[in-house]
């Protein structure tokens, strides 16, 4: 269940003011262990801070994620109304201060981006039965997907770098663009080219190569799918990468928009996913924007569709950004750090900690990339602060921010796709 946390405009690039607000808000409702009767065989509820026994005096129930009164029910205080009803047998609910929080039971994951609609899949199961699948997943081979539909090649992606440039997504009168601020600050700290220069170079080199497909183009409501390309288009044509674009054992794209309407040349698409893949020193790094919306002009352009004056909003998951940083410093390019354990660790509470015992002198007099490795390691504590101050979205509904809002401008040109 998505809960968007109100942000105040930060007073510095790291948004220190948000840290105070987050520290005040985060402890409010962190219950995550309340199973429902239907899921009793999946997870056993906590029975309190002490083992229930003959000499234990149980406490009055309070809203703290514990079974204080030892009745095998968590947080059933009077102020926990209205009664929370689980959306599915494998979903747990907890109520704090009158707010219902949905969480997946152990071993089950959410497949459609909304825990409130139930936890649809089991971890580790492949193909259309797995957690990568979506309700419309169709078993088969990727090459069975019909590419003879209009398509768009993303030719420009420009992030807004301040919240002032971004739209107000939650009605609090403040722009929402935490990821733009964070990425802009991080690129500035490591003294690299700006994030938008990096994006432009990645698109020009074909390292960031993404296309949109429009099955049903020409109708009011059209499907909108997203695929990765094998390099940049040549002569208006491009090759689709099968492995990164399709759910294994299926002809269904991994990334789709739940809703897309094109009315008189204006597109409004929502609840989508956009993969962002880059190559650094031969290492492929990928993040995925969640809850993506597109709003702008969409017009026929040769064999495909041109997007112009199009705004994109989305969410960058903390875990995606943390994993991308960790993948980079653990790569052979950063072997000069001599890490003995992870440098970046993101815990279940979305707190980033630094470790790894990096050798901060091992990269001296090295290549530009090795210098970048060393700079990232030296700034680990500052990067951890960014993870504390910038996240402003709660995508899993546990009352704690786990993602950063993002706002960008997008342009795309018509392209013909093939295998």
**72: which strand partners?**
none
84-116 as b/e: b if 16+ CB within 10 A: bebbbbbbbbbbbeebbbbbbbeebbbbbbbbb
What's the pLDDT band for 87 if we cut at 50, 70, 90? low
pLDDT number for residue 12: 36
Q: Which residue has the higher pLDDT, 33 or 412?
A: 412
**Alpha-carbon span 277 to 141, nearest angstrom:** 23
Dump pLDDT digits (tens) for 346-373: 988 889 999 999 998 889 877 888 988 9
- 337 exposure class (CB count in 10 Å sphere: 0-12, 13-18, 19+): buried
What's the pLDDT band for 47 if we cut at 50, 70, 90? very low
**96: which strand partners?**
99
> How does the average pLDDT of the chain come out, rounded?
78
**Alpha-carbon span 318 to 358, nearest angstrom:** 22
Dump pLDDT digits (tens) for 176-203: 899 999 999 888 887 667 899 999 999 9
Mean pLDDT in residue range 386-402:
86
- Copy the structure tokens of residue 363: 């990269």
**221: which strand partners?**
261
309-333 as b/e: b if 16+ CB within 10 A: ebebbbbbbbebbbbbbbbbbbbeb
Dump pLDDT digits (tens) for 96-124: 555 566 667 666 666 666 666 667 666 66
Please give the model's pTM, rounded to 2 decimal places. 0.71
Dump pLDDT digits (tens) for 290-346: 999 999 999 999 999 999 999 999 999 999 999 999 999 999 999 999 999 999 999
**Alpha-carbon span 53 to 70, nearest angstrom:** 10
Q: Is the pLDDT assigned to residue 29 strictly greater than 60?
A: no
**Alpha-carbon span 296 to 222, nearest angstrom:** 15
What percent of the chain stands above pLDDT 90? 46
**Alpha-carbon span 137 to 116, nearest angstrom:** 21
**Out of 193-202, 245-254, 276-285, 395-404, which region has the weakest mean confidence (pLDDT)?**
276-285
Q: Cα dihedral sign for 262, 265, 270, 272?
A: positive
**Alpha-carbon span 384 to 350, nearest angstrom:** 10
pLDDT number for residue 63: 60
């Amino acid at each position: 269940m998505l809960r968007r946390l109100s942000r105040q405009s930060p007073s510095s690039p790291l948004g220190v003011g948000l840290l105070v607000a987050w520290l005040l808000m985060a402890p409010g409702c962190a219950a995550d262990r309340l199973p429902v009767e239907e899921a009793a065989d999946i997870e056993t509820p906590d029975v309190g801070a002490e083992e229930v026994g003959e000499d234990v005096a149980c406490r009055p129930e309070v809203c703290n994620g514990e079974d204080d009164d030892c009745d095998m029910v968590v947080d059933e205080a009077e102020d926990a109304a209205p009664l929370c009803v689980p959306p599915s047998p494998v979903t747990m609910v907890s109520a704090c201060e009158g707010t219902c929080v949905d969480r997946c039971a152990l071993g089950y994951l959410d497949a459609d981006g909304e825990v409130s609609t139930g936890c649809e899949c089991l971890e580790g199961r492949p193909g259309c039965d797995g957690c990568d699948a979506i309700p419309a997943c169709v078993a088969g081979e990727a090459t069975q997907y019909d590419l003879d539909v209009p398509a768009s090649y993303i030719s420009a992606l420009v992030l807004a770098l301040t919240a002032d440039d971004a739209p107000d997504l939650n009605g609090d009168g403040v722009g929402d663009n935490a990821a733009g601020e964070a990425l802009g600050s991080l690129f500035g700290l490591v003294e690299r080219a700006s994030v938008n220069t990096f994006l432009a170079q990645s698109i020009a080199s074909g390292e960031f190569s993404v296309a949109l497909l429009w099955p049903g183009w020409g109708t009011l409501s059209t499907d909108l799918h997203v695929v990765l390309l094998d390099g940049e288009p040549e002569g208006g044509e491009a090759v689709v990468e099968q492995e990164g674009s399709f759910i294994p054992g299926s002809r269904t794209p991994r990334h789709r928009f739940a809703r897309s309407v094109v009315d008189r040349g204006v597109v409004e698409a929502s609840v989508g996913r956009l993969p962002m893949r880059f190559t650094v020193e031969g290492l492929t790094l990928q993040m995925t924007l969640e809850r993506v919306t597109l709003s702008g002009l969409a017009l026929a352009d040769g064999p495909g569709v041109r997007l112009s004056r199009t705004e994109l909003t989305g969410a960058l998951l903390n875990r995606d950004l943390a994993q991308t940083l960790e993948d980079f410093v653990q790569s052979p390019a950063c072997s000069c750090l001599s890490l003995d354990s992870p440098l970046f660790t993101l815990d279940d509470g979305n707190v980033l900690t630094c470790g790894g015992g990096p050798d901060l002198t091992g990269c001296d007099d090295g290549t530009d990339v090795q210098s970048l490795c060393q700079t990232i390691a030296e700034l680990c504590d500052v990067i951890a602060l960014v993870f504390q101050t910038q996240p402003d979205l709660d995508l899993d509904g546990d009352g704690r921010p786990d993602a950063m809002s993002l706002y960008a401008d997008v342009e795309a040109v018509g392209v013909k796709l093939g295998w």
